[in-house]
Amino acid sequence: MTKSSSTLFSTFRSNLPSMAGKTAVITGTTSGTGKAAAMTLAKLGAKVLVLNRASHRSTTSSSELTVAFPNAQIHSVECDLQAFDSVETASAQVAELCPEGVHVLCNNAGVMALPDTATADGFDVQMQTNHLSHFLLTRNLMPLLDRASNATGETRVVNHSSVARLSPSKTLHPEYLERRGGELGGNGSAFQNAMFRGARWLRYNQSKLANCAFTAALHHQLQKQGSNIKALVAHPGLSNTQLQKTSVKEGGMGSVVTNLMMRFSQTPEEGAMGILSAMCLTNAKSGQFYGPGSGASALKGPARPFDLEAFYDNAETRDLLWQKSVHAIGKDFSI
């Protein structure tokens, strides 16, 4: 079902600058947009660290990367975003592997419409995987981003959000960031899931809204401190990856509607154009959002920059996101 390349993507890639001399850390590269981004960064000459939980998919995708780019510096680091302990161990490993610092951190990994389950840390599986563990990882890698930005003038944190940030709620609700995994609305009926409604989708919506609020909060704090670290966010439109297949398997989407919908999707490479723009383009600015448009119908096409949106880029939401996330990881995160 997945096309491996596209004209749109090859034209896009040919306009990206060299990333030689830069170090990029990317989460979730076993398939989809993360895999496309890792392949592209390696092709552009970057040193690439791929952070994945241990699995056959992780081993296979890492060896595909090293086989495709035998001269590239590629490091595979085990990191399970469902567990803060694993993020801590991975952060320490990244620090050891990158004495030069980190130029780009791409918080890409994600899960969608999973059942109402708690991680071992007690948080909603979608919120911890998609946002809270990335918040902790970013906090831990700040000194490395700072080090590289002092040497080269700028570094970047790129978060991966979704059109799902727009609905069903444009308000970030505190309970989704609390230790209430498994108590956040249940699993919904087959009808609701087939139609992308109900509690599973609200939990996904909240995690993707959190990606944006995190970007906005980080952007404002970095700017206030005069930092050279940029905070950006992207969304892939609708991209034909493993994401939907996993959701269907876990009961979060109806297969008939999903198969019909995916006829209108773009390839994983095209879906990666937003994060790649934010990671690589020399004119990308802190506080920008890259995607095939800002509205609910922006499902495919070239990634273009637009401004962060007022429904999460406001003092109340930024503070809520930061305070709840700091409390969740149990560590101070001061810029």
Ligand X SMILES: NC(=O)c1ccc[n+]([C@@H]2O[C@H](COP(=O)([O-])OP(=O)(O)OC[C@H]3O[C@@H](n4cnc5c(N)ncnc54)[C@H](OP(=O)(O)O)[C@@H]3O)[C@@H](O)[C@H]2O)c1
Residues that bind ligand X (CB under 6 A): 27-34, 52-53, 55, 57, 79-82, 108-112, 129-130, 160, 162, 235-236, 238-239, 241-243, 246, 271
162: tokens are: 């979704």
Rank residues 101 and 236 by Cβ distance to ligand X and give the closer one. 236
The CA angle 27-313-306, to the nearest 5 degrees, is 70
Report the nearest approach of ligand X to the CB of residue 334 (Å). 26
Report the nearest approach of ligand X to the CB of residue 129 (Å). 5
| Cβ neighbourhood burial of 240 (10 Å; 0-12, 13-18, 19+) | buried
Instruction: Give the contacts of 279 (CB within 8 A, at least 6 positions apart).
Output: 24, 37, 41, 104, 106, 156, 158
* Count of CB atoms situated within 10 Å of the CB of 195: 14
Residue of this chain nearest to ligand X (CB atom): 32
Instruction: Give the contacts of 147 (CB within 8 A, at least 6 positions apart).
Output: 100, 101
Count of helices and strands (H, E) across the chain = 13, 8
Rank residues 12 and 228 by Cβ distance to ligand X and give the closer one. 12
Report the nearest approach of ligand X to the CB of residue 208 (Å). 6
Report the nearest approach of ligand X to the CB of residue 200 (Å). 13
Rank residues 12 and 227 by Cβ distance to ligand X and give the closer one. 12
Helix (H, G, I), strand (E, B) or coil at 81: coil
Report the nearest approach of ligand X to the CB of residue 237 (Å). 7
Rank residues 181 and 227 by Cβ distance to ligand X and give the closer one. 181
